[in-house]
Amino acid sequence: MNEVSQVAYRYAALFYGIIAAYFWYIFYSLWAFLGKNYFPQDVSSVLSIQNSNFHIVNIAVATALTIAVVAGLFIHKKLKEFIVDAGDELSRVAWPTFKEAQKTTAIVIGLVIVSSIVLFFADTVFLRIINLIMNTAA
């Protein structure tokens, strides 16, 4: 692997954090869905959503599965190299300043408004033409 900057590793760590948060949410939601629909609804069972400890078990299961997925991502060498290289590319991007971002956003919003007005009038004209043709033909 070539020399990469520390910023690339920070971007890679951020990417891993986003992946971890995504998988944690997926696992948490999946476990809650299973608890609500497929696990026994006996209050004495820890797997029951009616049990007061179900939320804690849900968090523990989601955390354990997320740690397993992220550890698997760390172990996979090619994927790790890809993520670090992607972070290296992100560190080389010339990001716009806040003022530039404001200006381009204002331009985009203005063009969207103008094009929507033009399309509205074009639609109105075509609708009247079609109604005129349909009324004349009838």
Question: Over the stretch 106-138, which tens digit does the pLDDT of each residue have?
Answer: 999 999 999 999 999 999 999 999 999 998 876
Q: Which of these ranges, 22-26, 90-94, 110-114, has the smallest mean pLDDT?
A: 90-94
Q: Which residues contact 16 (CB under 8 A, 6 or more apart)?
A: 70, 73, 74, 83
Give me the pLDDT at residue 1, please. 47
Question: Is residue 26 located within the same domain as residue 84?
Answer: yes
Question: Is residue 53 located within the same domain as residue 112?
Answer: no
Query: pLDDT confidence of 3, banded at 50, 70, 90?
Result: low
pTM of the entire structure? 0.55
Question: Is residue 119 located within the same domain as residue 108?
Answer: yes
Long-range Cβ pairs for the range 37-46 (8 Å, 24+): none
Full domain range(s) for residue 88: 1-94
Average pLDDT value over all residues in the chain? 86
